[in-house]
């Protein structure tokens, strides 16, 4: 770990003139794709609170509120010079670990878990924010490695950094989120030039540790879900129920879908249709075309994120972008894969689509940081 | 390279989506439609029951019932749920568990735990539904019997369907938690009263709760209503007369029947002791049920139909008419009556140990001379006697629409040999059979039906208890017409002779002041011995009176004795009183009939003789 070193901020960046100049290189595409996904998410929130979408406290009402907070987070993050985050990465890291500790201590969740903390009556999952913090910290770490990024110590150091928050999330217990941490770190290492050979060794070691993880880390319900995924012939009313129902919902959507508000299966058979299985609801209502549209938007968004990283001349920018892109890709793969029966059931939300405040605000914040990175590069005029 | 990963992941997900939604979309659409829909029965309301004047006898009232769907109650939670439920319902946990364990139906079928629970209890159970998984409070209709014990033997009652019944009736749409008619017309007219449950297609959620009704696959049809032949006012009058004498003497059991001889319609059927059928409709407690079952006087028994007794002298109708029809006697021929007749070393006494002299059938019937009818029976022989008995409807069920009808016993030579290991009937037993003693057994219903046939000129009708079946909208679905069993194969002259003989019963003052009623009535009293002799060698006995009044029964000056009136065949009122184990000084049944007629015809005289209704082992008429 490097020593805490304050870098001189460019005071001029905060003058109005400079800011307006900066916004002229705002990545409109990034914002457009993100907004497109958010609108689809809102649409689902509206149809899933069909009884009284405009009543206070409805899924739709809360989604609107989260959107407003997300736009604020995005604007704020974009306005701040990303280098401040780089500078304050370590303090932020420790605050983050503290918040995760608090979540464990006072948090609540379903079935004895403690995954979220209630703030003014709203549930907030700090593990969502912790993902972004992880991307910042790992990017900061990789920046500090400089020329030594290719040796084994980079990978071991990254492992040491990710271990504490990962462990705190894992014992909530939230296997899904802890896997996302892994994805962020892996993506950042991969793109930043870490040794592919040693990464491969880590992956192999990870696979080799599966029996140990199986026996000592995984909770019973998690083991059960994995077994069920491998053997789908088990009864449909049991643990596999959601997966089966989810596939029926998506499959019955057909090419064009049943139309908005007609999500009969996802509405009544999937108890978590507004959260983890929101994509199933989307697939049923909007069909193949709608489902593919969402995947295309995600693909484009991830592409823009990576592009910002590659354009950035700062290794921090590249590593952070890679971490976020990797996170997005991983979450899409796991969540959509779960909905359509390719992945085991894990509580990983689908960014923008799953209705959850922490997820949306965190991702908006991350995109804001990316915009900040994008706007604050010396670039040729292209 | 990262870009390649993005393309790979999106491509794989897209392919799978294509497979699910486009390639196999119709398969999943089918699954989606199939799993959401299910069918459930639509219950319908049971038909009502009215009396012949349209008075409501059986109504439906909404009540709460507690049911358990075993599939929704996890085994681990069962003890707690059962304990709490037992506390709320004032039952023992064991009885609830027994009810659940006895359930032979599917675990998805509701099992009835308690019926007609108080509203307050229903509310508490509904509020605690989170702690009581699988427990449901159903609003359902139960029977309300507005006249309770007065007509309970006729109406019967409904109750929870038994496991055996459910097995058999499931194909007809009965449900595990159904109610079904268990006695009376509730049982015999179950098919009409129940109606037809409908079927609706519903959409269910994952928990099996109904989300909404999609369509009605089969509309329910409400049950039809019954209009009984009984007139509650007549029933009340009959019960009042019967109860009066029973209370006065301390009798335990009695029957009063009223019938219209022109149609076979039962106008009143009282069997005492009775019971409150509302107890059953509300779901009778085991203690109450055991009490009714163990009552020595069998309140659940309809003695008019379900039991048989020796008819005593009322049976002389059979012997007399048979003798006349077979030419063994004529209306004018006389028979020497004596104190007793002798066969071998046995003496067969007349009830009057002085005899009545040389008399015709009119006097023989009027004074109920046993030695007169011994001789007629002897001339007929047992098989001709039995033949005529069967013609009058004895020894066979009348076919009334009430459950568990007894058929009675009419001995023949063959019957005696079959039952008594080849012993033939003895001449003395023929004598006994001729006066309704010995092996003769009849139901009160058979007896009034025979006298109705006498009154109407020889048509034996099937007694009817239901007059009309009415649809839910009040239209007449079925109008029961008089249903003749047979025209008696005897001449009108014989029947007329027997009616006049029956009029001689009161006019001879054999029945004391019965003749002083301002109406013309005819009939026959009877005393039937049964059981074990007392220390003085006397047997306990039942008393009977069965008779009829002609239409326009008021006495007229042109026919002071009423003989002309009873020659007519226009009678619309036959009646029967039966006092079980009466042992009274006078004939209790005669006094009951007298009081009934006074009430029924609103006579201004009261001719009741309370002194006759004193316990005194008198017998002999």
Tell whether the model's pLDDT for residue B620 goes beyond 70: no
Stronger pLDDT, A328 or A353, i.e. the higher one: A328
Q: Which of A354-368, B97-111, B541-555 has the highest mean pLDDT?
A: B541-555
Structure tokens at B94: 């064991």
Per-residue pLDDT, averaged over B415-433, amounts to 91
Q: How far is A269 from chain B (nearest CA, A)?
A: 5
Give me the pLDDT at residue B36, please.
Answer: 66
Which residues from B are below 8 Å from A271, CB to CB? 206
Q: Which residue of B has its CA nearest to A249?
A: B32
Closest CA to B371 of B383, B385, B357, B382: B357
Q: Binning pLDDT at 50, 70 and 90, where does residue A54 land?
A: low
- Helix, strand or coil for residue B2? helix
Give me the pLDDT at residue A237, please.
Answer: 41
- What is the C-alpha to C-alpha distance for residues B415 and B424, in angstroms, rounded to an integer? 9
Rounded to 10 degrees, the C-alpha dihedral B176/B180/B182/B187 comes to -140
CB contact under 8 A, B18 and A342: no
Which residues from A are below 8 Å from B10, CB to CB? 295-296, 298-299, 332
Tell whether the model's pLDDT for residue A231 goes beyond 70: no
Which residues from A are below 8 Å from B18, CB to CB? 288
Full-model pTM: 0.66
Give me the pLDDT at residue A2, please.
Answer: 40
Q: Which of A134-143, A270-279, B351-360, B587-596 has the highest mean pLDDT?
A: B587-596
Tell whether the model's pLDDT for residue B236 goes beyond 50: yes
Structure tokens at B130: 């989170």
Per-residue pLDDT, averaged over B155-172, amounts to 89
- What is the C-alpha to C-alpha distance for residues B618 and B621, in angstroms, rounded to an integer? 9
Stronger pLDDT, B403 or A27, i.e. the higher one: B403
DSSP classification of residue B464: B
Per-residue pLDDT, averaged over A285-297, amounts to 89
Candidates B5, B14, B25; nearest CB to A292: B14
Per-residue pLDDT, averaged over B193-210, amounts to 75
- Give the DSSP H/E element, type plus range, for residue B592: helix B588-600
Give me the pLDDT at residue B617, please.
Answer: 63
Stronger pLDDT, B299 or A51, i.e. the higher one: B299
Per-residue pLDDT, averaged over B529-557, amounts to 89
CB contact under 8 A, A340 and B36: no
Stronger pLDDT, B337 or A248, i.e. the higher one: B337
Stronger pLDDT, A350 or A106, i.e. the higher one: A350
Per-residue pLDDT, averaged over A143-163, amounts to 84
- What is the C-alpha to C-alpha distance for residues B83 and B97, in angstroms, rounded to an integer? 10
- What is the C-alpha to C-alpha distance for residues B389 and B28, in angstroms, rounded to an integer? 76
Give me the pLDDT at residue B599, please.
Answer: 96
Stronger pLDDT, B409 or A53, i.e. the higher one: B409
Tell whether the model's pLDDT for residue B104 goes beyond 60: yes
Structure tokens at B333: 């021929």
Give me the pLDDT at residue A105, please.
Answer: 79
Tell whether the model's pLDDT for residue B252 goes beyond 70: yes
3-state secondary structure string, chain A? CCCCCCCCCCHHHHCHHHHHHHHCCCCHHHHHHHHHHHHHHHHHHHHHCCCCCCCCCCHHHHHHHHHHHHHHHHHHHHHCCHHHHHHCHHHHHHHHHHHHHHHHHHCECHHHCCCEEEECCEEECHHHHHHHHHHHHHHHHHHHHHHHHHCHHHHHHHHHHHHHHHHHHHCCCCHHHHHHHHHHHHHHHHHHCCCHHHHHHHHHHHHHCHHHHHHHCCCHHHHHHHHHHHCCCCCCCCCCHHHHHHHHHHHHHCCCCCCCCCCHHHHHHCCCCCCCCHHHHHHHHHHHHHHHHHHHHHHHHHHHHHHHHHHCCCHHHHHHHHHHHHHHHHHHHHHHHHHCCCCCCCCCCCCCCCCCHHHHHHHHHHHHHHHHHHHCCCCCCC
Closest CA to B97 of B108, B107, B105, B85: B85
Which residues from B are below 8 Å from A253, CB to CB? 21, 25
- Give the DSSP H/E element, type plus range, for residue B37: strand B37-42
- What is the C-alpha to C-alpha distance for residues B305 and B285, in angstroms, rounded to an integer? 27
Which residues from B are below 8 Å from A190, CB to CB? 1-2
Burial of A271-304, coded b for 16+ CB within 10 Å and e otherwise, reads: ebbbbbbbbbbbbbbbbbebbbbbbebbbbbbbb
Tell whether the model's pLDDT for residue A228 goes beyond 70: no
Which stretch of A310-319, A335-344, B100-109, B513-522 has the lowest confidence by average pLDDT?
A: B100-109
For B143, residues 6+ apart whose C-beta sits below 8 A from its C-beta are: B46, B58, B59, B60, B61, B157, B158, B186, B277, B278, B281
DSSP classification of residue B62: E
Q: How far is B217 from chain A (nearest CA, A)?
A: 21
Q: Which of A64-73, B46-55, B95-104 has the highest mean pLDDT?
A: B46-55
Q: Binning pLDDT at 50, 70 and 90, where does residue A272 land?
A: low
Tell whether the model's pLDDT for residue A23 goes beyond 90: no
- What average pLDDT is seen over chain B? 90
Per-residue pLDDT, averaged over A77-102, amounts to 86
Tell me if B504 sits within 8 A of B363, measured CB to CB. yes
Candidates B3, B17, B205; nearest CB to A340: B17
Q: Binning pLDDT at 50, 70 and 90, where does residue B518 land?
A: very high
Q: Binning pLDDT at 50, 70 and 90, where does residue B446 land?
A: very high
Q: Which residue of B has its CA nearest to A271?
A: B206
Per-residue pLDDT, averaged over B535-544, amounts to 85
Give me the pLDDT at residue B409, please.
Answer: 95
Q: How far is A259 from chain B (nearest CA, A)?
A: 14
Proportion of chain B above pLDDT 70, given as a percent: 97
Q: How far is B8 from chain A (nearest CA, A)?
A: 10
- What average pLDDT is seen over chain A? 77
Per-residue pLDDT, averaged over B482-497, amounts to 96
Q: Binning pLDDT at 50, 70 and 90, where does residue A243 land?
A: confident
Tell me if B484 sits within 8 A of B461, measured CB to CB. yes
Give me the pLDDT at residue A270, please.
Answer: 60
Name the pairing type of β-strands A122-124 and B459-461: unpaired
Q: How far is B54 from chain A (nearest CA, A)?
A: 50
Give me the pLDDT at residue A281, please.
Answer: 82
- Give the DSSP H/E element, type plus range, for residue B240: helix B232-249
Which stretch of A50-54, A63-67, B32-36 has the lowest confidence by average pLDDT?
A: A50-54
Structure tokens at A214: 């199986």
Tell me if B390 sits within 8 A of B412, measured CB to CB. no
Give me the pLDDT at residue A17, please.
Answer: 44
Give me the pLDDT at residue B497, please.
Answer: 97
- What is the C-alpha to C-alpha distance for residues B167 and B188, in angstroms, rounded to an integer? 19
Q: Binning pLDDT at 50, 70 and 90, where does residue B400 land?
A: very high
- Give the DSSP H/E element, type plus range, for residue B39: strand B37-42
Q: Measured between CB atoms, does B6 come within 8 Å of chain A?
A: yes
Per-residue pLDDT, averaged over B412-427, amounts to 91
Q: Is the ipTM of this complex over 0.90?
A: no
Give me the pLDDT at residue A11, please.
Answer: 43
Q: How far does Cα B428 stand from its chain's mean position? A: 36
Which residues from A are below 8 Å from B32, CB to CB? 248-249, 251-252, 264-265
Proportion of chain A above pLDDT 70, given as a percent: 75
The answer, yes or no, to whether the previous bond of B261 is cis (omega within 30 of 0) is no
Give me the pLDDT at residue A297, please.
Answer: 93
Q: Binning pLDDT at 50, 70 and 90, where does residue A247 land?
A: confident
Tell whether the model's pLDDT for residue A212 goes beyond 80: no
């Amino acid at each position: 770990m490097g020593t805490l070193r304050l870098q001189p901020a460019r005071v001029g960046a905060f003058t109005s003139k400079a800011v307006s100049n900066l916004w002229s290189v705002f990545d409109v595409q990034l914002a457009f794709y993100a907004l497109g996904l958010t609108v689809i998410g809102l649409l689902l929130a509206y149809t899933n609170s069909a009884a009284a979408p405009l009543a206070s406290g409805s899924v739709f009402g809360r989604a609107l509120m989260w959107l407003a907070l997300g736009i604020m987070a995005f604007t704020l993050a974009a306005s701040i010079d990303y280098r401040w985050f780089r500078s304050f990465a370590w303090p932020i890291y420790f605050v983050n670990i503290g918040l995760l500790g608090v979540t464990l201590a006072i948090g609540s969740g379903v079935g004895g878990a403690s995954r979220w903390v209630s703030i003014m009556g709203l549930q907030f999952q700090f593990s969502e924010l912790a993902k972004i913090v992880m991307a910042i910290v790992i990017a900061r770490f990789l920046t500090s490695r400089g020329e030594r990024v290719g040796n084994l110590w980079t990978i071991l150091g990254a492992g040491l950094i990710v271990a504490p928050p990962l462990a705190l999330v894992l014992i909530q217990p939230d296997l899904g989120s802890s896997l996302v941490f892994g994805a962020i770190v892996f993506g950042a290492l991969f793109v930043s030039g870490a040794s592919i050979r040693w990464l491969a060794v880590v992956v192999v070691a990870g696979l080799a540790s599966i029996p140990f993880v199986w026996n000592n880390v995984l909770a019973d319900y998690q083991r059960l879900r994995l077994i069920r995924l491998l053997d789908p012939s088990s009864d449909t009313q049991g643990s596999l129920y959601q997966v089966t129902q989810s596939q029926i919902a998506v499959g019955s959507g057909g090419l064009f879908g049943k139309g908005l508000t007609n999500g009969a299966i996802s509405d009544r058979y999937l108890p978590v249709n507004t959260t983890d299985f929101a994509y199933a609801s989307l697939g049923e209502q909007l069909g193949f075309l709608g489902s593919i549209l969402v995947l295309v938007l995600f693909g484009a968004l991830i592409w823009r994120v990576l592009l910002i990283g590659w354009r950035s001349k700062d290794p921090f920018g590249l590593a952070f972008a890679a971490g976020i892109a990797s996170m997005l890709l991983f979450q899409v793969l796991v969540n959509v894969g779960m909905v359509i029966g390719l992945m085991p059931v894990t509580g990983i939300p689908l960014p923008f689509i799953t209705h959850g405040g922490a997820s949306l605000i965190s991702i908006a914040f991350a995109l804001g940081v990316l915009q900040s990175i994008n706007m604050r590069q010396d670039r040729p005029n292209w | 390279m990262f870009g390649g990963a993005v393309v790979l992941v999106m491509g794989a997900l897209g392919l799978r989506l294509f497979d699910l939604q486009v390639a196999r979309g119709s398969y999943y659409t089918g699954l989606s439609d199939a799993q959401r829909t299910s069918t459930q029965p639509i219950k319908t309301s049971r038909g009502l029951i009215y009396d012949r004047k349209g008075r409501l006898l059986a109504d439906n009232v909404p009540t709460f019932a507690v049911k358990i769907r075993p599939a929704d109650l996890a085994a681990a939670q069962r003890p707690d749920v059962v304990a709490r439920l037992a506390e709320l319902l004032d039952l023992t946990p064991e009885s609830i568990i027994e009810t659940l364990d006895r359930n032979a139906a599917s675990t998805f079928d509701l099992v009835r735990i308690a019926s007609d629970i108080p509203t307050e209890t229903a509310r508490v159970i509904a509020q605690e539904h989170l702690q009581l998984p699988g427990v449901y409070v159903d609003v359902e209709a139960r029977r309300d019997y507005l006249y309770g014990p007065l007509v309970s033997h006729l109406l019967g009652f409904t109750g929870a369907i038994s496991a055996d019944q459910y097995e058999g009736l499931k194909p007809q749409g009965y449900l595990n938690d159904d109610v079904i008619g268990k006695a009376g017309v509730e049982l015999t007219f179950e098919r009409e009263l129940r109606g037809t449950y409908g079927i609706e297609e519903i959409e269910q959620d994952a928990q099996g709760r109904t989300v909404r009704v999609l369509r009605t696959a089969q509309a329910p049809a409400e049950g039809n209503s019954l209009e009984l032949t009984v007139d509650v006012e007549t029933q009340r009058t009959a019960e009042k007369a019967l109860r009066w004498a029973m209370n006065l003497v301390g009798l335990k059991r009695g029957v009063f029947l009223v019938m219209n001889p022109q149609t076979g319609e039962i106008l009143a059927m009282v069997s005492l002791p009775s019971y409150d059928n509302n107890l059953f409709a509300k779901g009778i407690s085991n203690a109450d049920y055991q009490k009714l079952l163990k009552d020595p006087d069998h309140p659940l028994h309809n003695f008019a139909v379900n039991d048989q007794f020796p008819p005593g002298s009322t049976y002389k109708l059979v012997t007399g008419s048979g003798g006349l029809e077979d030419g063994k006697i004529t209306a004018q021929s006389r028979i020497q009556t004596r104190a007793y007749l002798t066969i071998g070393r046995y003496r067969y006494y007349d009830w009057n140990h002085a005899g009545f002299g040389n008399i015709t059938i009119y006097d023989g019937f009027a004074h109920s001379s046993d030695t007169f009818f011994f001789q007629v029976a002897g001339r007929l022989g047992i098989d001709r006697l039995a033949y005529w008995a069967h013609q009058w409807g004895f020894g066979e069920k009348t076919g009334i629409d009430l459950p568990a009808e007894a058929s009675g016993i009419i001995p023949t030579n063959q019957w005696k040999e079959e039952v008594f290991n080849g012993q033939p009937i003895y001449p003395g037993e023929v004598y006994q059979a001729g006066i309704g003693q010995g092996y003769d057994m009849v139901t009160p219903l058979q007896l009034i039906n025979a006298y109705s046939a006498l009154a109407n000129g020889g048509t034996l009708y099937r007694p009817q208890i239901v007059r009309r079946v009415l649809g839910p909208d009040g239209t007449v679905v079925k109008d029961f017409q008089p249903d003749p069993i047979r025209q008696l194969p005897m001449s009108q002259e014989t029947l007329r002779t027997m009616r006049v003989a029956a009029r001689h019963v009161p006019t001879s003052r054999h029945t004391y002041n019965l003749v002083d009623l301002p109406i013309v009535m005819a009939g026959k009293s009877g005393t039937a011995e049964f059981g074990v002799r007392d220390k003085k060698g006397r047997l306990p006995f039942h008393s009977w009176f069965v008779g009829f009044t002609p239409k326009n029964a008021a006495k007229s000056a042109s026919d002071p004795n009423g003989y002309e009136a009873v020659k007519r065949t226009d009678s619309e009122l036959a009646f029967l009183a039966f006092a079980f184990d009466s042992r009274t000084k006078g004939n209790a049944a005669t006094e009951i009939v007298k009081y009934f007629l006074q009430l029924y015809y609103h006579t201004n005289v009261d001719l009741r003789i309370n002194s006759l209704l004193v316990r005194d082992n008198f017998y002999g008429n």
